């Protein structure tokens, strides 16, 4: 059992304990738990470690991180700046780190006149609703429909950056629109994935397929969509090297964006596709935005990539056919 320790004549209080369980396997999500004191419920941690036993056997690395947060008690006497070691020995490394961290927080609060950014963000987004379906320590509550969206560490870090850059975050209604959009899209993608998993086995997997056929009365190509029910379906065929098609498509998507963050994400998704030896035809056969999200791609970028393949092929295909004719 953990116990709170403090120096003699020093009044401090625990602000919580954060426990993170993770494995170096991209397909697995971290387990994040937060407790208001040093009393930790280890049952979820043990359960998660048991689930990942097979990953440990194949050489994956399991990590458990426990972070204790302490704050000087405002009701007690002020401790002043760091004290040098007295007659009884040197100051321990742990105590020195806590003192340095406390001093950093105090300096930040004195500079801004407000509490430390991370502290205010975590406190505001703390989920205290027992009936929350996510059972998460932090959630964003949509002011319109009161629906909860789970906040993970990357989301909280973006909120902290938003405040540090001058943004106002005093309520859940102040959460920036881009973060709201990502949370909603991630939630929708998760629900769709669960719906597919629970569907009956006899239902065939359907995907959007476009056949490229030559026109009967002209030299221009015809993009003819076929419904999934039709038995004679042909996949989309793009002329030329497949790797080149991936790069050209990503450049086309990048050209339609104006902000560098969007452009960088399209370059990143191109790299992910080539590293996994995928191509546009294979992706259309089994579109899965979750595959890209698990590899660090924003959900909006992943959905846009899947959505616009057909539109791009409609523009590209006439040029591709002309190239074949010239050969």
Q: Name the phi and psi angles at 215, rounded to 5.
A: -70, 150
Residues with Cβ within 8 Å of residue 220, at least 6 apart in sequence:
318
pLDDT band (50, 70, 90) for residue 189: confident
Give the Cα separation of 311 and 299 in Å (integer). 19
Cβ burial, residue 280 (10 Å; 0-12/13-18/19+): buried
Q: What is the DSSP string of 210-249?
A: EEEEE-SSSSSEEEEE--TT-S--------S-HHHHHHHH
The 10s digit of each residue's pLDDT in 268-289 is: 999 999 999 998 888 888 888 8
Mean predicted lDDT score pLDDT of the chain: 75
From first CA to last CA, the distance across the chain in angstroms is 76
Give the Cα separation of 45 and 115 in Å (integer). 31
The 10s digit of each residue's pLDDT in 49-101 is: 988 888 888 888 999 999 888 776 655 444 444 444 444 444 455 566 656 65
- Chain centroid offset of residue 51 CA: 22
pLDDT band (50, 70, 90) for residue 267: very high
Q: Could you count the other beta carbons within 10 Å of the beta carbon of residue 289?
A: 23
Across 50-54, 106-110, 213-217, 306-310, least confident range: 213-217
Residue 115 token pair: 């509490």
Contact status, residue 37 vs residue 23, Cβ threshold 8 Å: no
């990539």: which residue's tokens? 305
Give the Cα separation of 303 and 268 in Å (integer). 14
Contact status, residue 141 vs residue 172, Cβ threshold 8 Å: yes
Classify residue 30 by its DSSP letter: P
Across 4-18, 75-89, 184-198, least confident range: 75-89
Give the Cα separation of 7 and 181 in Å (integer). 46
Q: What is the pLDDT of residue 149?
A: 92
Highest mean pLDDT among 51-55, 76-80, 206-210, 233-237: 51-55
Q: Give 214's strand partners.
A: 221
Residue ranges of domains in the chain: 12-186, 210-326
Closest CA to 245 of 211, 206, 284, 209: 284
The sign one gets for the Cα dihedral 190, 194, 196, 197 is positive
Highest mean pLDDT among 2-11, 85-94, 149-158, 309-318: 149-158
Closest CA to 185 of 267, 301, 279: 301
């870090």: which residue's tokens? 157
CA distance to 142, 175, 212, 279, 322, per residue, from 224 (Å): 41, 43, 6, 21, 19
Contact status, residue 176 vs residue 162, Cβ threshold 8 Å: yes
pLDDT band (50, 70, 90) for residue 159: very high
């Amino acid at each position: 059992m953990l116990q709170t320790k403090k120096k003699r004549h020093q009044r401090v209080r625990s602000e919580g304990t954060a426990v993170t369980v993770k494995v170096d396997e991209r397909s697995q999500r971290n387990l994040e738990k937060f407790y208001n004191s040093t009393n930790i419920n280890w049952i979820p941690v043990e359960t998660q470690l048991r689930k990942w036993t097979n990953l440990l056997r194949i050489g994956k690395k399991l990590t458990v991180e426990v972070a204790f947060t302490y704050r000087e008690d405002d009701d007690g006497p002020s401790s002043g700046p760091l004290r040098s070691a007295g007659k009884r020995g040197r100051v321990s490394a742990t105590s020195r780190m806590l003192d340095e961290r406390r001093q950093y927080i105090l300096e930040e609060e004195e500079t801004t006149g407000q509490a430390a950014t991370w502290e205010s963000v975590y406190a505001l987004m703390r989920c205290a609703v027992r009936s929350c379906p996510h059972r998460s320590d932090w959630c964003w509550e949509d002011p319109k429909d009161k629906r909860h969206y789970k906040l993970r560490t990357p989301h909280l870090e973006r909120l902290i950056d938003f405040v540090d850059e001058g943004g106002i975050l005093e309520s859940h209604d102040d959460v920036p629109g881009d973060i709201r959009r990502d949370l909603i899209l991630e939630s929708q993608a998760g629900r769709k994935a669960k719906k597919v998993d629970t569907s009956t086995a006899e239902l065939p997997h359907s995907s959007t397929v476009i056949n490229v056929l030559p026109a009967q009365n002209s030299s221009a190509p015809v993009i003819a969509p076929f419904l999934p029910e039709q038995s004679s379906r042909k996949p989309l065929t793009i002329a030329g090297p497949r790797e080149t098609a991936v790069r050209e498509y990503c450049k086309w998507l990048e050209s339609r964006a104006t902000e560098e963050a969007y452009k960088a994400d399209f370059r990143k998704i191109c790299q992910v596709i080539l590293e996994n030896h995928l191509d546009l035809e294979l992706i259309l056969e089994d579109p899965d935005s979750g595959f890209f999200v698990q590899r660090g791609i924003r959900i909006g970028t992943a959905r846009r990539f899947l959505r616009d393949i057909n539109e791009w092929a409609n523009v590209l295909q006439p040029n591709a056919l002309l190239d074949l004719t010239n050969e």
